[in-house]
Structure 1
Amino acid sequence: MQLNIKNTLKHLLSFLLLSVLWLNPQTDLHAQSFESNIDNQLNEIFDPEGPGAVFLVAKDGKTVYRKAFGKANLELDVDMTPNKVFQIGSMTKQFTAVGILILEEEGKLSLEDDIRTYISDFPVQGDRLTLRHLLNHTSGIKDFTKMKTIMQIARKDMSPKELIDFFKNEPIEFSPGEKFEYNNSGYVVLGYIIEHVSGMSYENFIEQKVFGKLGMANSRYASDRELIKNRAYGYHDRGGYTNKMWVSLNIPYASGSLMSTVDDMLIWQNALNSEELLSHETLQKAFTPGTLTNGENTTYGFGWHLKEWDGEPVREHGGSIFGFKSMGVYLPDQDIYVVGFSNCDCNSPTVVTREIAKIVLSELSE
């Protein structure tokens, strides 16, 4: 009788252990396998004694992987931690695009508005140039970051209008809607339009209408002067590590001047899947490919590249700004989000972020 009780207890404990392994993704053997795969990939890229990175993976809106690698500050020998704040570069464009859509939903502008509605002296050279063209990079205006004279203004704290005046009279590259060409100038103009229509600075608009509303407490307009808790410091590798080059953050402006953490970016991604900021119908405009005048579709919406992996829809965008690189990949059908930030522009997270997303797709979606 005593032996039977022991056997019964043994079977019961085994059953409970298997149940825990099945129900808890943190202890699931499958989850451990994908975690090891990600660790192996990232440990090969990021030197424990060099500039580092932070990566977060979420499935169904919940974090399943969150780790830091390398150093947040080389001079002070400070290890990277997952809560560090990074400059995110062109991932800023997602927020600018949503800002425009917020104003559209409030009835304060239309995507079909001509740019001259807001900047009367902008030379459109006979063609109609709309906010939609700016959002989906089909405007044809000159990208100021490709101008040979860019370094003349790189350290000047210019106003948005002064920055627009710097490039607005440059010859157009093509007629609006004729082709897709990634363009930072368009998002500078959109930032100015947000200010013009809302009566708020771009910084205040994004911080109040987006970061504050969503509880993204560690996201902000970037600054090299202010004290920012948990800041990751940026580096270059030019035959040896150096501190990042200083430029005025008024220059990347609405095309690339925001800061965030991987945790806040998950809050952002989850908010996009709800209606906290915009109706589903309005937000889908951002995830719809642009259409050229010849009827062809591009692979860009508003602030996101729109791709497919073997029939699986993918939304992604990266960022690059002096001393930092970033990348975010989202698989909407599987609700998988992967975001990676690096504090050296020598270590782009673009490729490995995509690889991690594919690992998660294969191992956690079965």
Structure 2
Amino acid sequence: MKRLGLLLCFPLSVMAAPNEPAGLVQSLDSIIAARFKPELPGVAALVVKDGRPILRKAYGMANVELGVPVRPEHVFRIGSTTKLFTAAAVMLLVDEGKLALDAPVTRYLPDAPRHWDKVTIEHLLAHTSGIPNLSMDSGYWRTTARLDHTLEELVAPVRGRALEYAPGTRFTYNNTGYNLLAMVIEKVSGRAYFDFLDQRIIKPLGLAHTREGTDKQLIPGLVTGYRSGPAPAWLLASNNLHAAGGLVSTVDDLAAFMLALQAGRLVPPEGVRRMNASVVLPNGEATGYGLGSWVRMVNGKHLVGHGGYIFNFYSQLEMDVDSGIIAVTLHNGDRFGGDNEVLSKQLISEVQAWY
């Protein structure tokens, strides 16, 4: 990991391509090119081994109407891959003694409902809180998600509802839980959520193109999203995504973030280990999710990371922490190239086979 930290001194976007085996580069290129048609919404892809880029390339269109191809440096909405940043922010505050993973959320949000007094910070990170998920409400994506809401307004509708299960006993993916974490971050840090990310993660790592995915300002380099057809992406109010899915980024920034995280440059190694370890329920079942990170085994190797899907962008950031391999894919459509998680597995498996 020490080597990875040193290589981060040089932005991935300007590093010279290493002298990798030509056959490996060609194979990776073929895997991606077979999925994405040049005239349709495309993908920016970056594959890294030990901090060195093996493949950095784009495929398809950033804007179909104007015939603008995707470039590797283009900016994409990353959806739920944002959750990995939120989790890192929480773990920073844990390391500083400002948060405790086993503390109830009511300690930090005194106005939270009393029936949440057994819901801990760790439960929110691990999607095991039992708090209802607002984004699963009928009609949410057709109506609510299209209107501007504050963080409080995104949480308020579930305050009076009963818990769906005893905290810690089940896994249910939950966007509301991550927006609650944003409220906790703001309360204990005294900074707005996106400001905290900017000051503690984004600027220190030099992530020049990672920011709040606002729809109130122009975002230089942002590609256009598409749903099936292709047709224009569904309109959403970006502030509804917030800590659960509100960032935009690039393949270079995401790889640099993952390298820094896994090298212990953001969160101490013990915290990183907790993030990377699948939570085990009382019945002995592993959820396949740690603290802000999906966890899976591929070819006997430990893979961690996060994917995101939000109308109509699809992202995947994943690292084989045993082999030092990272795959990042950012797509501006509704799976025109298939499932990014499957693609990530293919790319990582291909590199594994060469080393």
TM-score computed with the length of structure 2 as normaliser: 0.90
Match of 1:316 among 305, 330, 347: 305
Aligned to 2:342: 351
How big is each residue's C-alpha offset from its partner over 1:249-272, in whole Å with a ceiling of 9 and x where there is no partner? 111110001111000011101111
Once residues 362 and 161 of structure 1 are traced to their aligned partners in structure 2, the CA distance between those partners, rounded to angstroms, is 48
Aligned to 1:221: 212
Aligned: 1:329 with 2:332: no
Q: How many residue pairs align between the two structures? A: 337
Once residues 213 and 159 of structure 2 are traced to their aligned partners in structure 1, the CA distance between those partners, rounded to angstroms, is 25
Aligned to 2:251: 262
Aligned to 1:8: none
Aligned: 1:303 with 2:292: yes
Aligned to 2:47: 57
Once residues 171 and 215 of structure 2 are traced to their aligned partners in structure 1, the CA distance between those partners, rounded to angstroms, is 33
Aligned: 1:232 with 2:223: yes
Aligned: 1:285 with 2:274: yes
**Kept after mapping to 2: 8 A contact 1:292/1:298:** yes
Does 300-309 or 94-103 show the bigger shift?
A: 300-309
Identity of aligned residues (%): 35
How big is each residue's C-alpha offset from its partner over 1:293-326, in whole Å with a ceiling of 9 and x where there is no partner? 3454332111111111242111132100011001
Any residues of structure 2 matched to 1:71-110 within 5 Å, and which? Answer: 71-110=61-100
**Kept after mapping to 2: 8 A contact 1:56/1:339:** yes
**Kept after mapping to 2: 8 A contact 1:306/1:315:** yes
Query: What one-letter code is carried by the residue in structure 2 that aligns with 1:83?
Result: E
Once residues 123 and 296 of structure 1 are traced to their aligned partners in structure 2, the CA distance between those partners, rounded to angstroms, is 29
Partner-residue secondary structure (3-state), 2:221: coil
* Structure number with larger C-alpha Rg: 1
1:86 to 1:152, Cα distance in 2 relative to 1, 3 A? same
User: How much is the aligned-residue C-alpha RMSD, in angstroms?
Assistant: 1.8
Once residues 352 and 320 of structure 1 are traced to their aligned partners in structure 2, the CA distance between those partners, rounded to angstroms, is 14
Aligned to 2:58: 68
Any residues of structure 2 matched to 1:105-124 within 5 Å, and which? Answer: 105-123=95-113
Match of 1:186 among 166, 177, 185: 177
Aligned to 2:202: 211
1:286 to 1:78, Cα distance in 2 relative to 1, 3 A? same
How big is each residue's C-alpha offset from its partner over 1:7-32, in whole Å with a ceiling of 9 and x where there is no partner? xxxxxxxxxxxxxxxxx98555xx21
Match of 2:37 among 36, 39, 47: 47
Partner-residue secondary structure (3-state), 2:145: coil
**Kept after mapping to 2: 8 A contact 1:101/1:282:** yes
Aligned to 1:146: 136
**Kept after mapping to 2: 8 A contact 1:58/1:338:** yes
Once residues 37 and 124 of structure 1 are traced to their aligned partners in structure 2, the CA distance between those partners, rounded to angstroms, is 56
Once residues 82 and 126 of structure 1 are traced to their aligned partners in structure 2, the CA distance between those partners, rounded to angstroms, is 44
Cα displacement (A) at 1:233: 1.0
How big is each residue's C-alpha offset from its partner over 1:328-351, in whole Å with a ceiling of 9 and x where there is no partner? 221111000001010002334221
How big is each residue's C-alpha offset from its partner over 1:112-142, in whole Å with a ceiling of 9 and x where there is no partner? 1111123334335376110000001111111
Query: What one-letter code is carried by the residue in structure 1 that aligns with 2:187?
Result: H
**Kept after mapping to 2: 8 A contact 1:323/1:343:** yes
Once residues 75 and 224 of structure 1 are traced to their aligned partners in structure 2, the CA distance between those partners, rounded to angstroms, is 20
1:25 to 1:235, Cα distance in 2 relative to 1, 3 A? closer
Once residues 295 and 357 of structure 1 are traced to their aligned partners in structure 2, the CA distance between those partners, rounded to angstroms, is 29
Once residues 217 and 198 of structure 1 are traced to their aligned partners in structure 2, the CA distance between those partners, rounded to angstroms, is 23
How big is each residue's C-alpha offset from its partner over 1:171-213, in whole Å with a ceiling of 9 and x where there is no partner? 3221101111211111111011111111111111111110011
Once residues 215 and 125 of structure 1 are traced to their aligned partners in structure 2, the CA distance between those partners, rounded to angstroms, is 41
Once residues 19 and 320 of structure 2 are traced to their aligned partners in structure 1, the CA distance between those partners, rounded to angstroms, is 24
**Kept after mapping to 1: 8 A contact 2:214/2:239:** no
Partner-residue secondary structure (3-state), 2:263: coil
In structure 2, runs of 5+ residues without a counterpart are: 1-15
Query: What one-letter code is carried by the residue in structure 2 that aligns with 1:114?
Result: P
Query: What one-letter code is carried by the residue in structure 2 that aligns with 1:358?
Result: S
TM-score computed with the length of structure 1 as normaliser: 0.88
**Kept after mapping to 2: 8 A contact 1:73/1:233:** yes
Aligned to 2:7: none
Once residues 129 and 235 of structure 1 are traced to their aligned partners in structure 2, the CA distance between those partners, rounded to angstroms, is 38
Partner-residue secondary structure (3-state), 2:270: helix
Aligned to 1:175: 166
Query: What one-letter code is carried by the residue in structure 2 that aligns with 1:247?
Result: L
